[in-house]
Structure 1
Amino acid sequence: MPFDPEYLLSNPVDIGSALRELTRSTDRLMMTAAPEPIAVTVCSVQVRTRTFRFHPYAPKELGRLLALPAFSFEGSAFGAQIAFEAGPATLVHPDEDEGLNVPVLECAFPAQFYRMQRRQHVRVMARPGSHAVWRCANGGEVKLRIFDVSLGGVGLRSRLGPEELPRVGTRLEGLQLDFQDGGSVVADLLVVGVYEATEHDFTHGQIRYLHMGCAFAQEDRQRERFLERLVRQLETRNVD
């Protein structure tokens, strides 16, 4: 692939981590090897066997994809441009794997994976279970899921309505950010963007959330050192 070598991943663990991001990204992944682009979603990744599974959003495209000897994938995930090639694929039916509800295609890991982060700060997915607790003006508490994190801020998500959550410009003071086994840190946040986001869950389908992009309101070198370590851990975590 004619891409800058600096952004090409070749280590299977790194490729597995990048593929795993795609299972949780709200951005669509397009396959360009077919006569017309086909939107697909990566549904699972196995680092031990170095395989990943995917399926098209439109079930009628499954047979068309199975007939192709190779695939070219292009898209984005969490602000990073991604591209890779893989194939051929094998078809896996639900009767072969009780964890499946629909047939999927399985491929070996690509030899290389292009991932170029365009954001000012590298933003990575937070570990499942990472959260913050926001204290409302009425004294109640709302648990917010930490979706992603960078040195510049965090993305928080909730299934509550916009009238129940902080608005753009709201300052969240003394918020404890709990990153599970990655540790925790207390920070003041400023809500800089709010929008609806849809996550694709392989079991439950499309789930709507309200996403709040938050920037750290104050510089704090101790917090930055903590986040530098956390981001490195999340970037290199074993996703199997």
Structure 2
Amino acid sequence: MNLHDASGPSDDADADIEAGAPPDDLYRLTHNSQIGTVLRDLSWQKCMLSVRTRTGHQFVTSILHVDPVERTFVFDWCNADAERQSLMTSEENAFSGLLRGVPVNFVVGQPAATRFEQGPAFVVGFPEKLYHFQRRRHFRARTLVTKGYRCEIRKPDNTVLGLDIADLSLSGVGLRSKTVTNAHLPVGTTLGKCRLDFRELGKLELDLQVVGHWLVGHDDNAIHHFGCAFVNPDGRMENFLQRLVFSLELAHRG
């Protein structure tokens, strides 16, 4: 299915959050009690967290136990040698995930090996700060990296930029790239007729506004993330988006 044409500015104040805007002071927690509460919630809800080391290695884990007195938490072991070694030698490890549909991001230092319930695990100190975004108006479905969903943007000078689609909601889309930077897509830019290719699920062509940019990682491993809001999608577009978000969420859970 292909949908076309949307125009006009976005009036959605939540678009920054919905489409994956950069962390903001409004959502930054620095008190250990607040950080501990969010970490315990992540543990109780058995949330899956993505961990990215400073050298660019990435794996999925979950928080097993939180100790608010010692200000430490235990998270699940990683069986892959390369990822485990990278994690245990990295002084910056970025965690990201969803807590009841709300993004949570934080960075911790170098973890140590420990034991939890008779199995191997990692233990690390609380992060100095944790970003817990407010609840969005619309649920955001993450995409599977292996699916290769892409966004093609044609700029006014006919330059074509290709980015990976990270997530989708009724209000916006999250994009990421190692080569496309904020110099190519400054915040505030409106882009006409961008093509979102979800392969077997369908394609969309619509206008986007860049509402946020942030960088994850360092040097050659850095990934640029862009939050983009849809510019006044019509009713037919919204119906298709709703079905598409539902399909993405089913695929992610499956």
Length-normalised TM-score, structure 2: 0.53
Per the TM alignment, residue 177 of structure 1 is displaced from its structure 2 partner at its CA by 0.6
Question: 1:212-231 alignment to 2 at 5 Å?
Answer: 212-231=226-245
Q: Residue 67 of structure 1 corresponds to which residue in structure 2?
A: none
Candidates 68, 78, 88, aligned match of 1:59 = 88
CA distance 1:189–1:124, shift in 2 (3 Å): same
Residues 54-88 of structure 1 show CA distances to partners (whole Å, capped at 9, x for unaligned) of 9698639xxxxxxxxxxxxx984373469xxxx63
Q: Give the aligned residue type for 2:144.
A: R
Matches within 5 A, 1:10-25: 19=48, 22-23=49-50
Q: What percentage of aligned pairs have identical amino acids?
A: 28
Distance 2:51 2:209 in 1: 25
**TM-aligned CA distance change 1:167 to 1:238, over 3 Å:** closer
What is the distance in 2 between the residues matched to 1:232 and 1:117? 21
| Structure with bigger RCO (C-alpha 8 Å, 6+ apart) | 2
Is 1:196 aligned to 2:215, yes or no?
Answer: yes
Change (3 A) 1:42 1:176: farther
Q: 1:144 to 1:58 in 2, by over 3 A?
A: closer
Give the match for residue 37 of structure 1: 72
Q: Do the aligned residues in 1 keep the contact of 2:142 with 2:252 (CA within 8 Å)? A: no
Offset of 1:40 from its aligned partner? 4.6
Q: Deviation of residue 28 (structure 1)?
A: 9.7
Q: Are 1:148 and 2:167 counterparts? A: yes
Distance 1:210 1:217 in 2: 22
CA distance in 1, matches of 2:175, 2:229: 11
SS in 2 for 1:162: coil
Matching of residue 187 in structure 1 with residue 206 in structure 2: yes
Per the TM alignment, residue 136 of structure 1 is displaced from its structure 2 partner at its CA by 2.8
Post-superposition offset of 1:147: 0.8
- Alignment-derived partner of residue 17 in structure 2: none
Q: Distance in 1 between matches of 2:222 and 2:195?
A: 25
What amino acid is the match of 2:66?
Answer: T
Question: Aligned runs of 1:37-116 on 2, under 5 Å?
Answer: 37-38=72-73, 40=75, 59=88, 76-77=97-98, 79-80=102-103, 88=117, 90-91=119-120
Distance in 1, matches of 2:169 and 2:212, equals 15
3-state SS of 2:117 partner: coil
Mark the CA change 1:89 to 1:136 in structure 2 (over 3 Å): closer, same or farther.
farther
Superposed displacement of residue 213, structure 1: 0.7
Gaps of 5+ in 1: 1-8, 45-53, 61-73, 92-103, 106-115, 200-205
Deviation of the 1:143 alpha carbon: 0.7
Amino acid corresponding to residue 126 of structure 1 in structure 2: T
CA apart distance, 1:36:
3.2
1:131 CA displacement: 0.8
Residues 56 and 232 of structure 1: CA distance in aligned 2, closer, same or farther (over 3 Å): farther
Aligned CA RMSD, in angstroms, stands at 4.4
What is the number of residues matched between the two proteins? 174
Classify the secondary structure of the residue corresponding to 2:222. Answer: strand
